[in-house]
Amino acid sequence: MSTVPSFYRPVEGELRLVEQKLAGIADGTIKSSSALLPDLVAHVLKAPGKGTRPAITLLASKFESGDDQTPVTMAAAVELLHIATLIHDDMIDNAETRRGEPTVSTTWGKNVAVLLGDYVFAASATLVCDTGNVRVIRRFSETIMELSSGELSEFTNAYNWNISRESYWKRIYEKTGSLFCTAAESGAILSGASEDVVLALKSYGYNLGLAFQVMDDILDFSGTEDEVGKPVGNDLVQGTITLPSILLIEKYPYDNPIKLFFEGVDKEYNLNRALDMISGSDIINESHEIAIGFQQQAIRSLDSLPDSVHKRCLQEIAEYSMERRK
231 pLDDT higher than 90: no
State residue 97's pLDDT score: 81
pLDDT tens digits for range 1-54: 446 688 999 999 999 999 999 999 888 887 788 889 999 999 999 877 889 999
230 pLDDT higher than 70: no
d(CA 114, CA 102): 16
What letters, b where the CB count within 10 A reaches 16 and e where it falls short, cover 241-254? bbbbbbbbbeeeee
- Residue-range domain boundaries for the chain: 6-321
pLDDT tens digits for range 154-174: 999 999 999 999 999 999 999
User: At 3, is the secondary structure helix, strand, or coil?
Assistant: coil
Contact by Cβ (8 Å): 49, 82: yes
81-95, 132-146, 229-243 — which one is most confidently predicted on average? 132-146
| The model's pTM | 0.93
State residue 272's pLDDT score: 95
State residue 31's pLDDT score: 79
Contact by Cβ (8 Å): 211, 180: no
pLDDT tens digits for range 274-303: 999 999 899 999 999 999 999 999 999 999
Report the mean per-residue pLDDT for the chain: 92
State residue 73's pLDDT score: 97
Beta bridge partners of 102: 97
Q: Which long-range contacts (CB under 8 A, 24 or more apart) does 167-175 make?
A: 168/241, 168/242, 168/243, 168/246, 169/210, 172/209, 172/210, 172/213, 172/214, 172/217, 173/146, 173/206, 173/209, 173/210, 174/146, 174/147, 174/149, 174/150, 175/147, 175/150, 175/151, 175/213
State residue 325's pLDDT score: 53
State residue 212's pLDDT score: 96
Q: Alpha-carbon torsion 134, 135, 141, 145, what sign?
A: positive
Q: Which one, of 170, 173, 190, 202, lies nearest residue 77 by Cα? A: 190
Superfamily of domain 6-321: Farnesyl Diphosphate Synthase (1.10.600.10)
pLDDT band at 226; cut points 50, 70, 90: low
Q: Where are the alpha helices (DSSP H) in the chain?
A: 12-28, 37-45, 52-60, 69-93, 104-108, 110-131, 134-156, 165-172, 178-191, 195-222, 225-228, 234-237, 243-251, 257-262, 267-279, 283-300, 309-321
State residue 33's pLDDT score: 87
pLDDT tens digits for range 261-281: 999 999 999 999 999 999 989
d(CA 188, CA 248): 40
State residue 1's pLDDT score: 47
